[in-house]
Structure 1
Amino acid sequence: MEFRILGPLEIVANGRPVGVGGPQQQTVLAALLLAANQVVPIDRLVDAVWWTSPPSARANVRGYIAALRRMLRDAGEPPDRLITRAPGYLLRVEPGELDLFRFEEAFTRGERALAGGRAEQAAQDFADALHHYRGRPLDAMPLGAPLQADVERLEERRLLLTEQYTDACLLLGRSDALVPDLRRLVSRHPLRERLWERLMLVLYRMGRSADALDAYAQVRRHLADDLGIDPGPRLRSLEQRILSGDPGLDPASPRSGSVQAGDDAEAAAGPADGTPGRTGTLRQFPMDIVEFTGREAELRALNRFADGAGGDGDTALTVIAIEGMAGVGKTRLAVRAAHQISTRGRFGAVQLWADLRAMDPELPAADPAEVLGTFLRQLGVPAPRIPPDLASRAALYRDRLHGARALVILDNATDEAQVEPLLPGDPTSLVLVTSRRSLAGLDGVHRLRLAVFAPPESTDLLGRIAGPDRVTAEPAAAARIAERCGQLPMAVTMAARRLQTRPAWTLAEFDARLEGEGRLPDELEFRNRSISASFDLSYRALADDQKRMFRLLGLHPGADFTPPSAAVLTDLPEERAESLLEALLDENLLQQASPGRYRMHRLLRGHARRKAHEHETPGRRDAAAERVFAWYLRAAHSADLVLNTHGRRVPIEFPGDPGDGAGPVPVFGTRTRALAWLDAESENLTAVIRAASDQGRHSVAWRLPAVLLTFFHLGESRDDWIAAYEIGLEAARRLGEWRGVAFMLNGLGMACSDADRCGEAIVHHREALVVQRRLGDLVGQAWSLNRLAVAYLGARRPSRAIECFEESVRIFRRVGDPHGAAAMTPELGAAADADGGHIRMCEAVTCPDTVMTPATVRAAHGEA
């Protein structure tokens, strides 16, 4: 089957045309083909068909989809050709079936051939690409705004192809046949100066200087009439060179080349004999964008580096590497800084830019020799005089840039080996390199690690794109959207673009659409840009063991991780786990919160979790979770053995074999070390409790809070304590673990007493007492009575407190536990003082000599 959209929409099956239905059904098909092999949301299909969506739009789209499926089935296609996949539909297109794919493939081959100096091959590839165009894409079809934008993008690609095809033909000296096409294109695009340049140069080389100058007069009139401006410097320079009969424009000249290679405002003005000379002015930087936001500190740092570079007596080249995770805005920052630096005039007399394609989904990483070949042609070296080998090209490149005050951007670098040959040799130049990877092995480089936005920068960017009034009207929703995007500039930008195209949405409505991890990637796709696709490029560049570590880290329940916990998660030795964590850190897929602790951006974490579900079987995922849950439980228990020296704790039986796959458990020799580990892991321990509950691992969900009782009591956050014990209580009840139920209730009561919520504490302790009486747990009853008495004291009910204390002492004496009875004395005294009475059983216990303050009473109670 063959699909054609570069012209009128057509489908051909087995050599015969296939009817594609009415105009609106054709538009739905066109939208699917423009995003072939990708999910097209139903909302985009609605927008593709209608300028304003009628109430029945979504139902109509479903009807068109059903009709297209019938059409494909009647043409003999399998059912999976057009499938439903949330949040829309996907049309599968095989290689070679879509003319757009064939066009792009030939175009890309031609670009690579032209950049590599293979003009003959480039001309053939460009001609092949043009052959697939039968007219304006989707000609004569009624299109909604999204498809109109896609058609304009394809037309722009066609124009770019024509320009590069002309360049290849100019290099080959056979561009005469292109005049009619160039005439037709400049009539349709009269303000496109690059087309006029090519037409003028072709006419001049045909011996038609007057026609070439007439073409210049025409474009000058168009620009003046329509825009009120004069032609740009490239066109003005070309006119002057035609008037002066510049031999460099002669097709026989070794430096004539194409407009791109030879006519960029004196770029090719080397010696007439073709030997390498010094360059003139080159302007290769991409455009800056008006919506650039924030990064003020980073821009100041980059400008300071530039100001300090190449000073008197300085012999070292200044190279600045801007590093960071995917989507953090490295290229945008480099371009903004380069424009600022060149505007101030010290650097930038020559501006060179190259995409080194470290993460290009379609093309391999750029060959440094190929990049040098392009740079040398731009610097005026004739193609025949460019050396074939990398070392010689690098030497000639350094010679050409000596003293040139060049500013070079090497974007999207793969590694140090790719960058090193592209560095000039003297301090009169300045180089900005961007990379997702660490380039620490590059000698003498200044590294600028780019972090995500601060929240005000994110909301500012939202306002710049989606509209400041919308952000001002809903600041809380704007902040939540930015937080869901993890303050990542690319994600915030795509969220803002989505809002920009949906002016009827409120920010609160869009925030609701983003709720839930599974929805976020789909909502942050826009045209051919996708957060998931960007992350996937980084993932695919990893080695297999690094990929496994990355995706399993997505299953880690905590916010950060250490080599020991990562080793347990992946079932690897700790040294190997640390090595892999460091490798992911160098790839900017992890961040280092503090020495030995690593963290993953929230969007990357979601991507890692999706990769784990794609590539790890349910059994392997469960085993990894089981290992890490067991390790945290056993490690917390190990710490509690040091903290809780009285030994009065709930008996903890570990689920399964306590040593099975859980990894080596840390041993804490001192109270200080135990507390330090618990403090560092406190967020993770709380997260493990929640995750265990969510995943149905209820045994861990109540035992881990039980182990942490002393730590919670010594800490300051009663909210975390209460939240953990509420989860644990629900888990113990689900399991029917009544000992655990009683322990969780008592822990909740203690937390509520400490938080001055004594009424709730009384309810919890009384319920715990009921459970312990049912279990016949006398020691548990004694301690519950003790804690209930403390709650009564806090509620200013001392008589009830005394009754509970007395009953507690009686039980301790009954079970032969004088230590437990002695621990009651401070509380009994406090209750007696509060009641104005005396304690009948005081003679039965040994009172401490020290006077107990409320603080020491609480401390004694906490240790108990």
Structure 2
Amino acid sequence: MLEPIAATPPPKSVYLQVLGPVRVLVGDEDVSIGGPVPRALLSRLAIAAGESVSDGALIDDLWGADPPPSAKVTLQGYVARIRRALDPHRPGARSRVLTRRGNGYALEPDATDWQQFTALARAGRTHLVDGNAASAAETLDAALDHWRGDAYVDVTDSEAVSVEAQRLDALRLDAVEDRTEAALALGEYGSAAAQLDAFTRRHPLRERSWELLARAHYLAGRPGEALDALRRARDTLADELGTDPRPSLLALQAAILDHDVALTPAPTAPAAAQPPTPPPTPPAAPDPFAHNIPLALSPLVGRATQLTELATLIRTHRLVTLTGAGGMGKTRLALEAARSRRDTDGPWLVELAGARDGAQVTDAVATALGLTVAGGVESLAVVLRERELLLVLDNCEQVVDPVADVVTTILTRCPSVRILATSREALLAAGEFVYEVPPLTDGEDVQLFVERAAAQLGAFEPDAEERALLDRLCTELDGMPLAIELAAAQCRTLSVRQLIANIDDRFSVLRGGSRTNARHTTMLAAVEWSYRSLTPGEQHLFQSLAIFEGGFDLDAATAVVDHPTLLADLASLVDKSLISVVGGDPRRYRMLETLRGYAALIRDRSHTAELRERHTRWICELADGAHYGLRGPLSTRWMRRLDLEIGNVRAALDANLHDHETYLRIAGGVYWYWYRAGHVAEALSYLDPALQQHDAPAMSDIPSPIRVRAVSGVTLIRYLAGDMVGLLEAFGRLAELHAHAADPVARTEAALILAFFEAGSGLVEQARAHATSALDFARRAEQPFTEAEALMCLGTADFRAGAYDDAARNLGAATRVAAEYGYGWCEASTLWIDAKADLAQDKWGGPAEDKLIRMVAVCESNDDVTSWLVAVATLAYAAFRRGDHDSAAELTGVVAKQGALIGYHPHAMDPVDLARYDRELRAGIPSDRLEAGLSRGAALSRDRVTIRVPDAPARSA
């Protein structure tokens, strides 16, 4: 008979005590964790309160800057030992108390004494504020009962644990003071005075305790001793810190001298009844002049969203750092946020532009607060210990490390102090929330320009044309408030149009700022201030990365920039707000145009030439990859990549206008992107030179594949634009290239374009010949994308010849091959031609619309804009033919509106079919229904249209 398997006993509760020597109770048993290092490890995890702490952070905390080679293995050994002690019935990774999370560990005991203490202390203070002194006393007694000595008293070597111990000890002193205040509210004046007398001797720099002691003596009928307590407080603060007491202590002295009735307790209740708890003395209203925040000299424009966000952040985080490039308005935003605060003892502005070390930072804070403090930041923290205020530390970027040290000391000792810092890089202090100040957008940038220009001109009311120019100008200025204000300052001299014309020389134009701020008198000074803070390596990388236009990712930077410490220096430039992180995966980065302009201004010519050569090489490789990538299963990824890199493509084309081979290699590689995205005007502006220089002597040396691609691009884009005259010219050039091209790939690519247009124009036999030769090559070379295109051209020729059965066979094969390979454009285009063949045979209301609906879905998944519009335009005609005039008019309105946004009109591209469809539809729908439907369609977004299109056939019922 088999023995029953013993069940695992239920886990015992784990209780962690740190308010005294570190101790762990598992059930009722006091378990041993081990020596100093395991106790420090357990303590460090306890501080994280259930959050994961990485292996690296734990190793740094336990062994400092010189960990042993086996630190990670040793750490794992200590973790295993602690797990066995805490969770003996769930050994190893199965522990429910000490778990592995990501690259670190998390400790989650059932209870900790420090969390119980802090919760009770917080509740006790709430009772006190609410006037319930008896509940406050009971709750605070329960909180203080958790203490068995100084926090973490036997874990002394860990800096992180030491800082946490100081925080907990400070909370303990707060709770003791709250308990004595509750005693005063309960009428226990004598005992409270005795406790406070001893407490002030042990903690002579706690001003609140001196005030409580003075109140206790006064309420006990000893006003002389009350005044003596206040005198001793003043003397102690002067001797120890060299500073005056806080205003509330002085106010209490005046109230005692005046026998202020507000200090008199409520009448004593009869003996049989419990004495009512006297209401707490309401705090004095904040002195409106108890700060040094300067008055605003001009109205703040916009920033309502940021001010709301900042108010919430300051409430929930004790350290908030505003970062951003110079001139982005960090200081102005911080001051505006500070003005809305109602702190009892603040807020205070501390200007750090001239500070160079920690002592100067401390002195700047003390000077701003009107304090004279001897003993450095430790003494300053003692003075601020009981004050409720916001410190605005402005321009921290020159002294980031000292500021981080000062901030950490203040925040760990002063629970009612909050800090709002401005810096071009984060402080990297514990508990910091970094808020990157964004540019002005959504019309706020234009509004700022108008208001500042009006101040210069006396009045400025731009008309619609000027507002459009201002929108462009503010975009060129990156929405940067300082740049916009400096541009507005030039309005007496230059018009808006002149400002735009001279924006390339922005550092000559953007000047005339406040004489009281040397860094903001010109845009050049603001940027130079940031640039000078960089190391030589960072300066070199800053100049190099400015070669990118429209942004870049890490792979692009690696390809173009020769920099051995690229990743480290890039991270530093991001931290210092000279490079912005745009987002995405992989991450993209961007440099403001103003910063790019400065980099170009100071960059050596030879450095610029080297960068431009490497940038061009990178773009050429990108264009080569795009030519084939856009014709396969990764086409969507390539479309999105080119969306991101098109600014760099334009820059490379502009830089290589006279290098014909390089220029045509790039333009011929990306024309398919322009075609599918509907960027007709841009494509023509870059591709037309390929045709204009076709007969130039220099062109004859360019390899035929490059020339064929460029002229193919011209031909297709002119077709897209509906330029029939230009199309015929390009078609003729392409036919010449096809006839003389020795390269089989070039001949095949030219043959496909020729076949496409020959089939469309009714030259059926020529189309079949060119398509068949392309199909033969595709099957020999195993190129499915070429095979799909060739079959589509054969099917198109069959359709034009009226051979609908042959058309269905070839188009069906083309659709299948394109779909299997993932060539979305060809699949969509073949479905369109097949649907047109159905419409030509009066097969609407089913087959045609089914294919067009599938076409819409393919276009959506491939980010294909032009084919999407073609599909919707054809669906409109199908709906019209089956009598659904409302849907037909609505879809036509969609095409008109969405096409106008990119300058593309499908019926101009296809004068044979789509133009006829559009004429028939508009003539056949009553004018009132047509106009109503067009209006509805124009109001639809593209996303909503995509959702509605699949319902089209159902609307015929």
Deviations 1:636-688 (A, max 9, x none): 4346556657xxxxxxxxxxxxxxxxxxxxxxxxx43x752552244425633
8 Å CA contact 2:764, 2:800 repeated in 1: no
8 Å CA contact 1:403, 1:428 repeated in 2: yes
Match of 2:330 in 1: 330
Q: Map of 1:742-761 to 2, 5 A cutoff?
A: 742-754=708-720, 756-761=722-727
8 Å CA contact 1:323, 1:438 repeated in 2: yes
Deviations 1:196-241 (A, max 9, x none): xxxxxxxxxxxxxxxxxxxxxxxxxxxxxxxxxxxxxxxxxxxxxx
Deviation at 1:758, TM superposition (A): 4.7
8 Å CA contact 1:407, 1:430 repeated in 2: yes
Q: 1:421 aligns with which of 406, 422, 430?
A: 406
- Mapped partners of 1:779, 1:449: distance in 2: 51
Match of 2:926 in 1: none
Deviation at 1:587, TM superposition (A): 0.5
Instruction: Please tell me whether residue 460 in structure 1 is matched to residue 443 in structure 2.
Output: no
Q: 2:352 aligns with which of 349, 356, 361?
A: 356
8 Å CA contact 1:705, 1:725 repeated in 2: yes
Matched residue SS, 1:430: strand
- Residue 667 of structure 2 aligns with an amino acid whose one-letter code is P
Match of 2:294 in 1: 286
Matched residue SS, 1:420: helix
Which is helix-richer, 1 or 2?
2
Q: Specify whether residues 592 and 730 from structure 1 end up closer, same or farther in structure 2 by C-alpha distance, changes over 3 A only.
A: farther
Structure number, greater radius of gyration: 2
Deviation at 1:270, TM superposition (A): 13
Match of 1:768 in 2: 734
8 Å CA contact 2:758, 2:767 repeated in 1: no
Gaps of 5+ in 2: 1-230, 232-236, 255-285, 516-520, 817-824, 834-858, 863-957
Matched residue SS, 2:320: strand
Deviation at 1:399, TM superposition (A): 2.1
Match of 2:395 in 1: 412
Matched residue SS, 1:396: helix
8 Å CA contact 2:478, 2:592 repeated in 1: yes
- Mapped partners of 1:417, 1:319: distance in 2: 15
Match of 2:422 in 1: 434
- Mapped partners of 1:437, 1:817: distance in 2: 58
Q: Specify whether residues 710 and 681 from structure 1 end up closer, same or farther in structure 2 by C-alpha distance, changes over 3 A only.
A: closer
Matched residue SS, 1:446: strand
Matched residue SS, 2:319: strand
Deviation at 1:747, TM superposition (A): 1.9
Deviation at 1:331, TM superposition (A): 0.6
- Residue 334 of structure 2 aligns with an amino acid whose one-letter code is A
Matched residue SS, 2:434: strand
Q: 2:382 aligns with which of 371, 392, 399?
A: 399
Q: Specify whether residues 730 and 329 from structure 1 end up closer, same or farther in structure 2 by C-alpha distance, changes over 3 A only.
A: farther
- Mapped partners of 2:333, 2:790: distance in 1: 67
Deviation at 1:521, TM superposition (A): 1.3
- Mapped partners of 1:586, 1:304: distance in 2: 24
Q: 1:475 aligns with which of 444, 467, 481?
A: 467
Deviation at 1:377, TM superposition (A): 5.5
Instruction: Please tell me whether residue 367 in structure 1 is matched to residue 357 in structure 2.
Output: yes
Q: TM-score, normalised by structure 1?
A: 0.53
- Residue 352 of structure 1 aligns with an amino acid whose one-letter code is W
Q: Specify whether residues 603 and 380 from structure 1 end up closer, same or farther in structure 2 by C-alpha distance, changes over 3 A only.
A: closer
8 Å CA contact 1:702, 1:744 repeated in 2: yes
Deviation at 1:778, TM superposition (A): 8.5
Deviation at 1:506, TM superposition (A): 4.0
Q: TM-score, normalised by structure 2?
A: 0.49
- Residue 490 of structure 2 aligns with an amino acid whose one-letter code is R
Q: Specify whether residues 481 and 689 from structure 1 end up closer, same or farther in structure 2 by C-alpha distance, changes over 3 A only.
A: closer
Deviation at 1:397, TM superposition (A): 1.5
- Mapped partners of 2:364, 2:792: distance in 1: 86
Q: 1:577 aligns with which of 555, 560, 566?
A: 566
- Mapped partners of 1:419, 1:639: distance in 2: 48
8 Å CA contact 2:718, 2:727 repeated in 1: yes
- Mapped partners of 1:482, 1:409: distance in 2: 29
Q: Which moved more, 1:261-270 or 1:620-629?
A: 261-270
Q: 1:297 aligns with which of 302, 305, 309?
A: 305
Deviations 1:263-301 (A, max 9, x none): 9999999999xxxxxx99743222223321111111112
Once the two structures are aligned, what percentage of the paired residues are identical?
A: 18
- Residue 808 of structure 1 aligns with an amino acid whose one-letter code is H
8 Å CA contact 2:748, 2:773 repeated in 1: yes
Deviations 1:692-729 (A, max 9, x none): 44344433221123334555566554555544433555
- Mapped partners of 2:369, 2:744: distance in 1: 91
Match of 1:450 in 2: 437
- Residue 286 of structure 1 aligns with an amino acid whose one-letter code is P
- Mapped partners of 1:809, 1:677: distance in 2: 27
Match of 1:707 in 2: 669
Deviation at 1:510, TM superposition (A): 3.6
Deviation at 1:858, TM superposition (A): 3.7
- Mapped partners of 1:781, 1:508: distance in 2: 49
Match of 1:626 in 2: 613
8 Å CA contact 1:827, 1:857 repeated in 2: no
- Residue 796 of structure 2 aligns with an amino acid whose one-letter code is A
Q: Map of 1:122-137 to 2, 5 A cutoff?
A: none
RMSD between aligned residues: 4.4
Q: Map of 1:319-718 to 2, 5 A cutoff?
A: 319-341=319-341, 345=342, 347=343, 349-357=345-353, 365-373=355-363, 375-376=365-366, 386-387=373-374, 392-414=375-397, 415-421=400-406, 423=410, 425-439=413-427, 441-467=428-454, 469-472=460-463, 474-499=466-491, 501-502=492-493, 506-512=495-501, 514-515=502-503, 517=504, 519-526=505-512, 529-556=521-548, 558-572=549-563, 576-595=565-584, 596-612=587-603, 616-618=604-606, 620-638=607-625, 640=627, 671-672=633-634, 675-676=636-637, 679-685=640-646, 687-695=648-656, 696-708=658-670, 717-718=679-680
Deviations 1:389-411 (A, max 9, x none): xxx32122122223222222110
8 Å CA contact 1:322, 1:450 repeated in 2: yes
Q: Specify whether residues 376 and 432 from structure 1 end up closer, same or farther in structure 2 by C-alpha distance, changes over 3 A only.
A: same
Q: Specify whether residues 836 and 553 from structure 1 end up closer, same or farther in structure 2 by C-alpha distance, changes over 3 A only.
A: same
Deviation at 1:788, TM superposition (A): 3.5
8 Å CA contact 1:485, 1:603 repeated in 2: yes
Q: Specify whether residues 826 and 626 from structure 1 end up closer, same or farther in structure 2 by C-alpha distance, changes over 3 A only.
A: closer
Matched residue SS, 1:294: coil
8 Å CA contact 1:761, 1:791 repeated in 2: no
8 Å CA contact 2:445, 2:484 repeated in 1: yes
8 Å CA contact 1:267, 1:378 repeated in 2: no
Matched residue SS, 1:471: coil
Q: Which moved more, 1:621-630 or 1:528-537?
A: 621-630
Matched residue SS, 2:359: helix
Deviation at 1:850, TM superposition (A): 4.2
Deviation at 1:334, TM superposition (A): 1.0
Q: Specify whether residues 551 and 730 from structure 1 end up closer, same or farther in structure 2 by C-alpha distance, changes over 3 A only.
A: farther
Q: Which moved more, 1:693-702 or 1:425-434?
A: 693-702
Deviations 1:321-346 (A, max 9, x none): 111111000111111111111xxx3x
8 Å CA contact 2:361, 2:406 repeated in 1: no
Q: Specify whether residues 401 and 852 from structure 1 end up closer, same or farther in structure 2 by C-alpha distance, changes over 3 A only.
A: closer
- Mapped partners of 1:373, 1:551: distance in 2: 36
Matched residue SS, 1:350: coil
Deviation at 1:815, TM superposition (A): 10
8 Å CA contact 1:779, 1:811 repeated in 2: no
Q: Specify whether residues 263 and 802 from structure 1 end up closer, same or farther in structure 2 by C-alpha distance, changes over 3 A only.
A: same
- Residue 565 of structure 1 aligns with an amino acid whose one-letter code is A
- Mapped partners of 1:520, 1:267: distance in 2: 55
8 Å CA contact 2:667, 2:687 repeated in 1: yes
Q: Which moved more, 1:540-549 or 1:592-601?
A: 592-601
- Residue 718 of structure 2 aligns with an amino acid whose one-letter code is C
